[in-house]
Each structure stands twice: as structure tokens, then as C-alpha cells.
């Protein structure tokens, strides 16, 4: 005897029927006629998903992936367990496709917003890169296309694939098909599922067996990472015994008219492979009064097979709201997962970030080092889960979560979750909260060091365990970036 359907179930069934109707109806815009359109009209429905996929010339299996994601998404609601105050997003008011815009080139750096120029200078970004980032026409001295080409040919020699996600779908469909959604299933969570339905573009990396990628996949990316859109998708596969270090993001301030960003990053480290994934996130955080700013809701996860290692390192200084938990599924025996994070919130920024370490294999090890800095009215939450499965004999975890407060209107919160089902596991957790005291600042000033330099010095000292995990050149930039984002945090 089956119970009578509830109201909700009835509604869901009606919705599903309606969807089916739409899915089966003829595509009224046609598949080719609309290509010239630059931007889709706002709204999300199955038709939009189909048009998007068609526009990108995607194969059937990918359209299916998008459609089943979309249908799953319809049944989901936004998570509310976080410690964030979020203005509701009207998903039907967003446009889900926008052709990469040709930026109007500026004649010289003089035309660039002085504020932006100032930041570039403080960061010490080389002039030619500044010009590219700001969209200034560059002369023949620095031709980014030729640099990119040299770079690509060197990688190709070693069999490394590094291209946009769309290119990968065209040129390496078998790899994409095999691994897409294998780490973050399309049903994973509200934002990841939305991304799976409507992702715009992103990056794809494949490192063949036994290959050590000869360079940081970073410089090239920094210059070329524009216009990936608000639903970015990244997939990195490191085959057996390979090694790759990847840097995402940019210290230069990133502005975007899209408020919502929901990216998905999947890492697959096959047996004995190593993936080092570093992020510097500096999206527009909103103004001093908390107006504007980007919502950054990211799902990042890696699967680590036997003897492999995944390291997530992140420096989060931007965005009005950050919601992200780069995680490791330590599936194979002896797999290692690491998470090093610095998250800064100033003015009215909010961050709810941390990691999940899921120990499935024997003798798996994980390390978590999280440094949260709050200033102004900023709210910083560390949320981390360590799960030791029944079979994970000999698993070990060490977590350290430190918070630093600047001023008395900000907040720091720590939510560690532990779930241990194997009695041989060793799990350690340390946490601390400290405050930059006026007496410390005065001590520095009495020695001739300004308040701002004093704060920077203390903050750098606080973060050094994380900075040393970053690739060299970015560690320096990250430090400068941190000081810029904390500017004005002491009176």
C-alpha cells in the first residue's frame, strides 16, 4: 500500500511533466539562427540549457549531463547552514550566456582608472602584464599570443594538455567524459548542480603518466583567464606518477558585472600523482559600506588515489561573500590531503570557508592549516570536517585553525566537525584566536614603524605557514595583496 502523494510530490510531478513537455517540444529558436546573439535574455529553463550547449557545439552526452543537472537543480534549494547573510538571488533574472566580449583597447596606461593603476603598482605587476590586464593595446615588444604559443608547444612536447574546457570537449572528449562529474557529482549541491547545468567555460589539464609538468601552470593563465564567465568549470587529471602545480586566479583586482559566481573545480590524482592547486582570489569585495561585491560560491574537490597527494592552498582576500570548502577524498591507501588557507575579511565582507578531509584508504594523512583574519565589520568562519571511515586504519589528521582580529567590530567563528569510525585514527585539532592589540601597534610605532606597516608585519607573521606553501613569486604578491586588502583597517 503506498501512501497518498503529498502536496509537494504532486507539485514535483507536475513540474517534471512540464519539463518533459518542454524537452520534447521542438526547439523554437532553432539551433543555428540565434548564434549571432551576444547575450541570452535573462531566465533559466531547459530551453536555455539546450541553446547554450548548441551554441558551444557540444556533443549529446554533454547536453545530457547539463540537462540532468538542470532537472536535479530544480528540486534543490539554496543551502542555509552557513554562517552568512546573503541577499536572495533571483536565478531567473540572470543571463546564462554571454559571448566573450571584445574589450575596447585603451591607447595607453594613462587611460586606465587611477585606482586600478595604483593597485597594480603596489602589487608590483610588470608593466606589460598591467597593460594586458587593463586592456591596453600592447606593442610588438610583448606579444602575448607568441608567448602563449611557445608555452603551449613546450607543454605539448611532454604530452601535457592544458586548454580551455570548451577546447577539451572538442579535442579530448574521451577524457572529459570519463572524469567530468566524477569527483563532484552533478547532484552534489545547489551551486555545483547549477554550474553543471550552465557552466560557461574554464580550464582543462591532463598530465600523462610519469610526467612532471615542467612549469607552474600559472603565468599563462593569469593573462588569459579573462572572460571565463560566472560559471567556471575546471578539471585537472594527473595520471599515474605525474606531478602538476596549478595556480588559479590573479592578485590584480577582478571586477565583474556578474554578482554570482558559482565555479566547480574537480581534481583527480591517480596512483602516486601529485596535484598542487593554489588559488589567489581577489574578486571585487564591495565598497566600504558593503554595497556591491561578488558572491563567490565555489565547489572544489579532489580525489586522491593510492600514494597520491593533493594540496590546496588558498589566499582569499576578495568577494563580498565567500563560500568554499576545497576538499579531498583520500580514497587510496597512503593518500595525502593538505589544505592551507588564508582568508581575509575587511569592511563588510563575509567568508565561510574551510575544507573536508574524507579518509577512506588505509594510512591516509591530512593536514589543515587555516588562518582567518577579520577587520572592519568582516565576519570570518572556518568550517571543516574530518571524516575517518571504518576502513581507514592508521589514518591521521592534524588541524590548526587560527583567527586574528583587527578592531572590535569584526568576528571569527570556528566550526570543526569530526566523524571518526576507526579507533586507530589519530586526529588532532588546535585552535587559537588573537587580536592585534593597540599596545602591539604602539610598540611598533615607538620604534618608527607606521601603524599600517605594523599591521602588515603582524599579519604576514600570522600567515607565514600558508604563504610558504605558495609558489615563490605568488607568495610575494599574496603578501602585498593582503596588505592592500587590509588598508585602512587601523585608525
User: Which residues of the chain form contacts with another protein (CB under 8 A)?
Assistant: 434, 437-440, 442-450, 453, 457-458, 460-462, 464
The residue (of 103 and 450) whose beta carbon lies closer to another protein is 450
**CB of 322: closest distance to another protein in angstroms?**
23
361 and 392 Cβ atoms separated by less than 8 Å: yes
Reported as type and span, the H/E element at residue 381 is strand 379-388
**CB of 354: closest distance to another protein in angstroms?**
21
The residue (of 192 and 406) whose beta carbon lies closer to another protein is 406
**CB of 481: closest distance to another protein in angstroms?**
18
**CB of 235: closest distance to another protein in angstroms?**
37
The residue (of 44 and 343) whose beta carbon lies closer to another protein is 343
Q: How many CB atoms lie within 10 A of CB 6?
A: 9
Beta bridge partners of 411: 379
CA torsion through residues 144, 149, 152, 157, sign: negative
The residue (of 292 and 461) whose beta carbon lies closer to another protein is 461
**CB of 462: closest distance to another protein in angstroms?**
5
CA 425 to chain centre: 30
**Residue 214 carries which DSSP code?**
S
What is the chain's alpha carbon radius of gyration, rounded to the nearest angstrom?
23
244 and 213 Cβ atoms separated by less than 8 Å: yes
**CB of 469: closest distance to another protein in angstroms?**
16
Angstrom distance (rounded) from CA 411 to CA 65: 41
DSSP secondary structure of 387-445: EE-TT-TT-EEEEEEEEEE-SSS-EEEEEEEEEE--TT-EEEEEEEEEE--HHHHHHHH
**CB of 194: closest distance to another protein in angstroms?**
40
The residue (of 114 and 448) whose beta carbon lies closer to another protein is 448
The residue (of 117 and 480) whose beta carbon lies closer to another protein is 480
The residue (of 337 and 372) whose beta carbon lies closer to another protein is 372
Residue 281: closest CA among 312, 307, 251: 251
**CB of 479: closest distance to another protein in angstroms?**
13
The residue (of 306 and 380) whose beta carbon lies closer to another protein is 380
**CB of 126: closest distance to another protein in angstroms?**
23
**CB of 313: closest distance to another protein in angstroms?**
18
Contacts of residues 107-114 at CB distance under 8 Å and 24 or more positions apart, as own/partner, are 107/136, 107/137, 108/136, 109/134, 109/136, 111/136, 112/136
Residue 483: closest CA among 307, 221, 282, 306: 282
Angstrom distance (rounded) from CA 448 to CA 450: 6
**Residue 167 region, left (φ>0) first, then alpha (ψ -120 to 50), else beta?**
alpha
The residue (of 385 and 457) whose beta carbon lies closer to another protein is 457
The residue (of 183 and 406) whose beta carbon lies closer to another protein is 406
**CB of 442: closest distance to another protein in angstroms?**
6
Angstrom distance (rounded) from CA 454 to CA 451: 5
**Residue 92 carries which DSSP code?**
G
206 and 237 Cβ atoms separated by less than 8 Å: yes
The residue (of 111 and 438) whose beta carbon lies closer to another protein is 438
Cell of 120: 597594480
301 and 266 Cβ atoms separated by less than 8 Å: yes
Angstrom distance (rounded) from CA 52 to CA 202: 15
Query: Helices marked H in 368-471 — which ranges?
Result: 438-446, 451-467
Residue 481: closest CA among 254, 246, 282: 282
**CB of 488: closest distance to another protein in angstroms?**
17
Beta bridge partners of 238: 207, 269
The residue (of 272 and 456) whose beta carbon lies closer to another protein is 456
CA torsion through residues 441, 445, 447, 450, sign: positive
254 and 296 Cβ atoms separated by less than 8 Å: no
**CB of 432: closest distance to another protein in angstroms?**
9
The residue (of 90 and 408) whose beta carbon lies closer to another protein is 408
Amino acid at each position: 500500500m503506498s501512501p497518498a502523494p503529498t502536496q509537494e510530490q504532486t507539485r514535483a510531478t507536475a513540474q517534471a511533466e512540464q519539463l518533459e513537455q518542454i524537452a520534447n517540444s521542438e526547439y523554437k529558436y532553432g539551433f543555428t539562427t540565434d548564434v549571432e546573439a551576444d547575450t541570452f535574455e535573462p531566465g533559466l529553463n531547459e530551453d536555455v540549457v539546450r541553446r547554450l550547449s548548441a551554441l558551444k557545439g557540444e556533443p549529446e552526452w554533454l547536453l545530457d549531463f547539463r540537462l540532468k543537472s538542470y532537472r536535479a537543480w530544480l528540486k534543490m534549494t539554496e543551502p542555509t547552514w552557513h554562517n552568512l547573510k546573503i541577499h536572495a538571488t533571483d536565478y531567473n533574472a540572470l543571463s546564462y550566456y554571454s559571448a566573450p566580449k571584445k574589450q575596447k583597447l585603451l591607447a595607453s596606461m594613462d587611460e586606465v582608472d587611477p585606482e586600478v593603476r595604483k593597485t597594480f603598482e603596489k602589487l608590483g605587476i610588470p608593466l606589460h602584464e598591467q597593460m594586458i590586464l587593463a586592456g591596453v593595446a600592447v606593442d610588438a615588444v610583448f606579444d602575448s599570443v607568441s608567448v602563449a604559443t611557445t608555452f603551449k608547444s613546450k607543454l605539448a612536447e611532454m604530452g601535457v594538455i592544458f586548454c580551455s574546457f570548451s577546447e577539451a570537449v572538442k579535442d579530448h572528449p574521451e577524457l572529459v567524459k570519463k572524469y567530468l562529474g566524477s569527483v563532484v557529482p552533478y547532484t552534489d549541491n545547489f551551486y555545483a548542480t547549477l554550474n553543471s547545468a550552465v557552466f560557461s567555460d574554464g580550464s582543462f589539464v591532463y598530465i600523462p603518466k610519469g610526467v612532471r609538468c615542467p612549469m607552474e601552470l600559472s603565468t599563462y593563465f593569469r593573462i588569459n583567464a579573462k572572460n571565463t564567465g560566472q560559471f567556471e568549470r575546471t578539471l585537472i587529471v594527473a595520471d599515474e606518477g605525474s606531478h602538476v602545480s596549478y595556480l588559479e586566479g590573479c592578485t590584480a583586482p577582478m571586477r565583474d558585472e556578474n554578482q554570482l559566481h558559482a565555479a566547480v573545480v574537480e581534481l583527480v590524482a591517480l596512483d602516486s600523482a601529485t596535484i598542487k592547486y593554489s588559488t589567489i582570489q581577489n574578486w571585487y569585495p564591495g565598497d566600504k559600506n558593503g554595497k556591491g561585491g561578488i558572491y563567490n560560491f565555489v565547489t572544489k574537490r579532489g580525489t586522491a588515489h593510492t600514494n597520491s597527494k593533493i594540496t590546496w592552498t588558498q589566499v582569499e582576500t576578495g568577494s563580498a561573500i565567500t563560500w568554499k570548502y576545497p576538499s579531498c577524498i583520500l580514497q587510496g591507501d597512503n593518500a595525502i590531503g593538505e589544505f592551507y588557507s588564508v582568508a581575509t575579511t575587511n569592511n563588510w565582507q563575509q567568508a565561510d570557508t574551510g575544507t573536508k578531509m574524507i579518509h577512506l584508504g588505509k594510512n591516509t594523512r591530512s593536514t589543515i592549516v587555516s588562518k582567518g583574519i577579520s577587520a572592519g565589520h568582516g565576519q570570518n568562519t572556518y568550517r571543516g570536517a574530518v571524516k575517518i571511515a571504518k576502513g581507514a586504519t592508521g589514518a591521521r589528521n592534524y588541524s590548526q585553525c587560527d583567527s586574528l582580529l583587527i578592531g572590535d567590530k569584526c568576528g571569527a567563528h570556528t566550526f570543526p566537525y569530526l566523524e571518526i569510525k576507526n579507533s586507530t585514527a589519530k586526529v588532532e585539532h588546535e585552535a587559537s584566536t588573537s587580536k592585534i592589540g593597540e599596545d602591539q601597534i604602539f610598540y611598533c610605532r615607538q620604534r618608527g614603524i607606521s601603524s599600517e606597516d605594523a599591521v602588515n608585519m603582524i599579519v604576514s607573521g600570522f600567515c607565514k605557514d600558508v604563504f610558504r606553501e605558495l609558489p615563490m613569486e605568488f607568495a610575494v604578491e599574496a603578501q602585498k595583496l593582503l596588505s592592500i586588502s587590509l588598508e585602512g583597517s587601523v585608525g
